[in-house]
């Protein structure tokens, strides 16, 4: 006799799957953001974005953010980053849905040496209004909303890179 309920193991298999990524906002003492330009061999070649990337198996979003910042910039953001935003994107480069977690990595004191990974070919510290839409890997409203959240101590929810 069926109870009309699906066994949990089967039900879990029917649920949506999404990749999870983490990114970090790092600023200098003048409030400019650290952005990295993707190398020619990368899918977003020539576009600028924040340090970050996909979680490794078993990794939590904060640990991924710290690892990615270290791998991509040589900067250890320490243990006190704060979640400032979540973005849901329906399809990223044909991989399906991605949930992006954004963390405020704090203000760099100017003594850090930026060391890029092969994934990037340049870095810059730019004010949010210096970043133009054609050169960003995603929509500018996302970066503006994250910047405001980091400065105000709030958290922003986004959908497809835009605040709700």
Domain topology for 20-163: Nucleoside Triphosphate Pyrophosphohydrolase (3.90.79)
Q: For residue 76, what pLDDT is reported?
A: 93
Average pLDDT, the chain: 89
Q: Which residues contact 28 (CB under 8 A, 6 or more apart)?
A: 34, 107, 108, 110, 125
pLDDT one-digit tens code per residue, 23-80: 999 999 999 999 999 999 998 899 999 999 999 999 999 999 999 999 999 999 987 7
Q: For residue 110, what pLDDT is reported?
A: 85
Rounded to two decimals, the pTM is: 0.87
Domain ranges of the chain: 20-163
Say whether pLDDT at 1 is over 50: no
């Amino acid at each position: 006799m069926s109870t009309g309920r699906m066994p949990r193991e089967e039900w879990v298999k029917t649920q949506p799957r999404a990749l999870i990524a983490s990114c970090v906002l790092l600023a200098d003492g003048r409030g400019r953001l650290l952005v990295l330009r993707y190398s020619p061999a990368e899918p977003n070649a020539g576009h600028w974005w924040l340090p970050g990337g996909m979680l490794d198996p078993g990794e939590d979003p904060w640990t991924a953010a710290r690892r990615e910042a270290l791998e991509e910039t040589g900067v250890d953001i320490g243990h006190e980053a704060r979640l400032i935003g979540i973005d849901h994107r329906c399809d990223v480069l044909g991989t399906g849905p991605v949930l992006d977690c954004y963390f405020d990595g704090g203000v760099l004191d100017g003594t850090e040496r930026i060391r890029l990974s092969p994934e990037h070919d340049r870095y810059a510290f730019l004010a949010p209004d210096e970043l133009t839409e054609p050169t960003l890997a995603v929509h500018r409203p996302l970066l503006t909303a994250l910047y405001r959240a980091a400065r105000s101590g709030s958290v922003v929810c986004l959908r497809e890179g835009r605040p709700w």
